[in-house]
């Protein structure tokens, strides 16, 4: 009963932060530009350790990298590779100046409202050219700053209940600073923390894989211990995910109690607004002990389905420990309610795009206006396969299902569909032209109607919460963000564009029902060709 009540925290949070036409019109929230948070975390008393700018260009073909077609494992991790990784995950890739003097420094990964609340830390054990220690990465001056001296991998391994972290060369930790995003989005920002760290992880895991660094993503860890290790003010910033990188070597020192660190930082703004609902759901989804991490992984960590996509030959083999995404939760499981299904077989996804991963990331930018031109069916199939390809993590794939509104794709009649990855096909939910409905569902944004196709990520949230507790809420949003980020990369690699979008929650579910009855809308990504060259920025 207590567990049931506990789980209701995520359900309640999700429902209370739902967008609807009424909630948007009645919100009353305005942006207070005087307190817009600064977009970089600046440690004022720590010397910068500059990163080399002549780093590896990560030239592996983008689609091969997304399919997990990794080179031989790297024998070492050097500063150049670490710099390449940090740049392509979180670096400043473009500067845009606006008439009147405004300037935005756009980053490698997309982020809601360009607010960039995701911060990056690295626990370094064996990186050639870098002292062991705990570092913060600042994209502003492309430098690291050491927060702790000495090897902290043992402490991180204990906090993550994953002994291998003490032997892997380095582990990246992603966090989020709440106020950067709540300033604009209020409590709903909690969802964005996982969408945006997800898009960053799409870049980071693809680049790490392409460099032979065998990334392993961990969503389970003792939150208070990792927050303490990083020296975070846990009411304002929290660790979200860990990614272990590089070869294994001799283990770091065994964990010993770590003193508190609290290096001074520049305030983000002169005033902040607290959103207790956000802190409540984060606290309710924490794991407090190593035993709890182990139990959480053992209980929820198995695959939701034994189905993998490998049988179809459409994609490469899944990474060890994690099947390629094959949604067992609805689309791949029991038949959906309604009339007998009809399917459209998608063409074979393209294996290569002819564009290196580093180049794709450098030129990526959310499409601000889609032309209404169609995509080829193979282009769409390639995005869908890349978005859902497997990779190594401590939670199973397939928590979210991909639904689509196809507005304009060659050989695919306009309509609403469910994507079935294991067979590489689209299941027809409803035929018809739905451009105006799609724009409406995406919070009445034209992007949703002008796109060639729009992916709606839906998940059986209650089932996920039953299995993973409140932390399942993090997983559903994270997986959708990650898949959305991979969709961006697959689209730009093929020469067209993408944009993440927000949405009207209940209306999305209603649109795809009865097929999607009982699920929740989690995230949206639109795909298509930019209206004019200049608009893909
Ligand atoms: C999770 C997510 C949700 C987004 N939602 C919207 C949206 O609703 N409307 C929109 O115009 N752009 C949306 N975007 C695009 C962001 O505004 C864009 O990523 C940000 O301005 C940075 O620009 P860039 O992607 O071109 O680098 C979203 C992006 C992400 C990653």
| Complete domains list, the chain, with CATH | 36-299 (3.40.109.10), 301-535 (3.40.109.10)
Question: What integer pLDDT is reported at residue 319 of this predicted model?
Answer: 34
**Which among 63, 91, 80, 23 is positioned nearest to 379, based on CA atoms?**
63
Tokens of 206: 């693809």
Atom of ligand 1 nearest to the CA of 447: 11
Question: What integer pLDDT is reported at residue 89 of this predicted model?
Answer: 98
Consecutive H or E run containing 387: helix 377-387
Question: What integer pLDDT is reported at residue 5 of this predicted model?
Answer: 61
How much distance in Å is there from the Cα of 365 to the middle of ligand 1? 9
| Residue 46 three-state SS | coil
- Half-sphere exposure for 511 (CA within 13 Å, toward CB): 28
Tokens of 508: 């999305």
Atom of ligand 1 nearest to the CA of 481: 1
How much distance in Å is there from the Cα of 111 to the middle of ligand 1? 6
Task: Give the integer Cα–Cα distance in Å for 141 and 40.
Answer: 10
Task: Give the integer Cα–Cα distance in Å for 199 and 163.
Answer: 27
**Which among 162, 315, 126, 317 is positioned nearest to 243, based on CA atoms?**
162
How much distance in Å is there from the Cα of 303 to the middle of ligand 1? 31
Question: What integer pLDDT is reported at residue 318 of this predicted model?
Answer: 34
Q: Are 416 and 438 in contact (CB under 8 A)?
A: no
What sign for the dihedral angle of Cα 304, 310, 315, 320?
positive
| Residue 305 three-state SS | coil
Q: What is the dihedral of CA 457, 117, 120, 388, to 10 degrees?
A: 10
Helices (H) and strands (E) in the chain, counts: 17, 18
Residues 6+ away with beta carbon under 8 Å from 479: 198, 397, 399, 400
What sign for the dihedral angle of Cα 474, 476, 479, 483?
negative
* Residues lining ligand 1, Cβ inside 6 A: 106, 110-114, 195-196, 199, 365-366, 445, 447, 481, 499-502
- Per-residue pLDDT of the chain (537 residues), as tens digits, is 456 667 799 999 999 999 999 999 999 999 999 999 999 999 999 999 999 999 999 999 999 999 999 899 999 999 999 999 999 999 999 999 888 878 899 999 999 999 999 999 999 999 999 999 999 999 999 999 999 999 999 999 999 999 999 999 999 999 999 999 999 999 999 999 999 999 999 999 999 999 999 999 999 999 999 999 999 999 999 999 999 999 999 998 787 889 999 999 999 999 999 999 999 999 999 999 999 999 999 987 444 432 222 222 222 233 333 444 444 345 655 556 555 679 999 999 999 999 999 999 999 999 999 999 999 999 999 999 999 998 899 999 999 999 999 999 999 999 999 999 999 999 999 999 999 999 999 999 999 999 999 999 999 999 999 999 999 999 999 999 999 999 999 999 999 999 999 999 999 999 999 999 999 999 999 999 999 754 444
**Which among 200, 183, 185, 174 is positioned nearest to 93, based on CA atoms?**
200
**Which among 295, 202, 210 is positioned nearest to 243, based on CA atoms?**
202
**Residue 139, phi then psi, degrees to nearest 5:** -70, -20
Q: What is the pTM of this model?
A: 0.94
Say how many Å lie between the first and final Cα of the chain, rounded. Answer: 51
How much distance in Å is there from the Cα of 419 to the middle of ligand 1? 23
Consecutive H or E run containing 244: strand 237-248
Tokens of 76: 């070492």
Compute the 3-state secondary structure of the chain and give helix, strand, coil in percent, each to the nearest 5.
35, 20, 40
Task: Give the integer Cα–Cα distance in Å for 382 and 282.
Answer: 35
Q: Are 323 and 397 in contact (CB under 8 A)?
A: yes
């Amino acid at each position: 009963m207590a567990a049931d009540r506990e789980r209701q925290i995520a359900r309640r949070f999700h429902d209370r932060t739902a967008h609807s036409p009424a909630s948007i019109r009645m919100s009353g929230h305005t942006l207070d530009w005087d307190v817009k948070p600064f977009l970089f975390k600046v440690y004022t008393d720590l010397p910068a350790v500059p990163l080399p700018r002549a780093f590896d260009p990560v030239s592996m073909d983008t689609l091969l990298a997304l399919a997990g077609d990794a080179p031989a494992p790297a024998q070492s991790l050097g500063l150049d590779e670490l710099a390449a990784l940090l740049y392509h995950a979180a670096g400043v890739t473009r500067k845009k100046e606006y008439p009147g003097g405004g300037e935005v420094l756009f980053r490698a990964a997309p982020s809601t409202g360009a607010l960039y609340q995701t911060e990056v830390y690295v626990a370094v054990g064996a990186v050639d050219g870098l002292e062991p220690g705990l570092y913060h990465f600042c994209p502003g001056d492309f430098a690291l700053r050491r927060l702790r001296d000495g090897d902290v991998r043992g402490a991180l391994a204990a906090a993550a209940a994953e002994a291998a972290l003490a032997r892997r060369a380095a582990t990246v930790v992603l966090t989020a600073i709440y106020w950067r995003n709540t300033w604009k989005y209020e409590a709903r920002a909690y969802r964005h923390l996982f969408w945006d760290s997800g898009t960053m992880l799409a870049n980071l895991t693809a680049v790490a894989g392409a460099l032979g660094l065998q990334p392993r993503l961990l969503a389970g860890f003792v939150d208070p211990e990792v927050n303490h290790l990083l020296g975070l003010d846990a009411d304002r910033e929290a660790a979200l995910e860990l990614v272990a990188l590089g070869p294994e070597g001799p283990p770091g020192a065994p964990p010993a109690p770590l003193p508190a660190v609290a290096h001074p930082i520049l305030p983000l703004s002169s005033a902040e607004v607290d959103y207790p609902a956000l802190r409540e759901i984060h606290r309710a989804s924490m794991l407090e002990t190593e035993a709890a991490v182990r139990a959480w992984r053992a209980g929820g960590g198995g695959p939701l389905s034994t189905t993998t996509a490998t049988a179809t030959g459409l994609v490469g083999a899944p990474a060890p420990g994690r099947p390629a995404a094959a949604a067992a939760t609805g689309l791949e499981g029991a038949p959906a309610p309604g009339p007998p299904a009809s399917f459209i077989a998608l063409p074979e996804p393209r294996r290569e795009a002819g564009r290196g991963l580093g180049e794709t990331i450098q030129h990526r930018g959310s499409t601000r206006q889609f032309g209404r031109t169609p995509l080829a069916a193979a282009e769409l199939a390639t995005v869908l396969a890349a978005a859902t390809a497997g990779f190594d993590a401590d939670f199973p794939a397939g928590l979210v299902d991909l639904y689509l509104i196809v507005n304009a794709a060659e050989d695919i009649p306009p309509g609403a569909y469910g994507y079935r990855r294991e067979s590489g096909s689209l299941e027809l939910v409803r035929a018809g032209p739905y451009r105006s409905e799609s724009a409406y569902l995406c919070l009445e944004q034209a992007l949703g109607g002008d796109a060639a196709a729009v992916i709606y990520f839906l998940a059986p949230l209650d089932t996920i919460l039953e299995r993973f507790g409140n932390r399942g809420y993090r997983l559903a949003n994270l997986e959708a963000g990650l898949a959305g980020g991979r969709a961006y990369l697959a689209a730009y690699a093929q020469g067209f564009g993408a944009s993440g979008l927000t949405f009207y929650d209940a209306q999305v579910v209603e649109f795809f029902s009865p097929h999607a009855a009982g699920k929740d809308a989690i995230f949206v990504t639109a795909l298509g060709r930019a209206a004019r060259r200049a608009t893909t920025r």
